[in-house]
Amino acid sequence: MQYLKWFFLTVSVGSILLAGVMVWMHEPEVLIPDTDMENKGTAGSQTRVEKPLLVERKGEKIIWRLQAESAKQEEGVMILNEPTLELFTEHQEAVLIRGTKAWFEPLQRNIEFKGDVKAEYQDWVLYSSSLRYRSKQDQVMVPGEFRLQSADTKVRGRGLRADRQTQDIFIDHDAWVRDDRQGNLIEFGGQNQP
């Protein structure tokens, strides 16, 4: 009977250690090449980093890779200048997202881009003034107006949501689509024409 008690105690401790390792492996990893850190030493201190690189993995697969020219940490948020996000699909194809600035929340692993946002995937390009990646929902969201185009297709609207895993895209408002493939012009939508 005494051996049974020790067996269950060992299994319990092992389970706790395994859970801790799994949580640790899912946290975003921060790689900082060529760091130039300044700490101002005040109550609202800031840390400045040159060329930060953050990577989120799930097992062996990379979910996203975020890098920037520079960043500063303020009150639990990292503010990035000239950021680039590589968001990987389930088949490890990269969606490149660039903007003027981005805000990264390390605890929720959310990223918000502002200012001349451009996202590229295969032959598609999306333009907007802001874009958000929500880690928990695993979705890209454009809350305002956007323009999406390929060689033969143009789409405009407000409120776009794209699922990273399924690659499904949803448009919330004012969708307007023009499809010019193979000489067949198809145009439908509201008043939001390009």
Residue 49, sorted as left (phi over 0), alpha (psi -120 to 50) or beta, turns out to be: beta
Q: Is 128 inside any structural domain?
A: yes
Is 192 a residue whose pLDDT tops 50?
no
Q: Is 7 inside any structural domain?
A: no
131 CB burial (10 A radius; 0-12, 13-18, 19+): buried
What lies within 8 Å, CB to CB, of 173 at 6+ separation is 157, 158, 159
Q: Is 56 inside any structural domain?
A: yes
State the CATH number of the domain containing residue 106: 2.60.450.10
pLDDT average, residue stretch 147-151: 92
**pLDDT at residue 181 in the model:** 76
Q: How far apart are the first and last CA of the chain?
A: 77
Is 182 a residue whose pLDDT tops 90?
no
Q: Any idea which of 30-34, 137-141, 170-174 has the lowest mean pLDDT?
A: 30-34
Task: Show the domain range for 138.
Answer: 31-189
Q: Is 159 inside any structural domain?
A: yes
Q: What DSSP state is assigned to residue 39?
A: B
Nearest to 158 by CA among 170, 149, 140: 170
How many distinct structural domains can be found in the chain?
A: 1
How many residues in total does the chain contain?
194
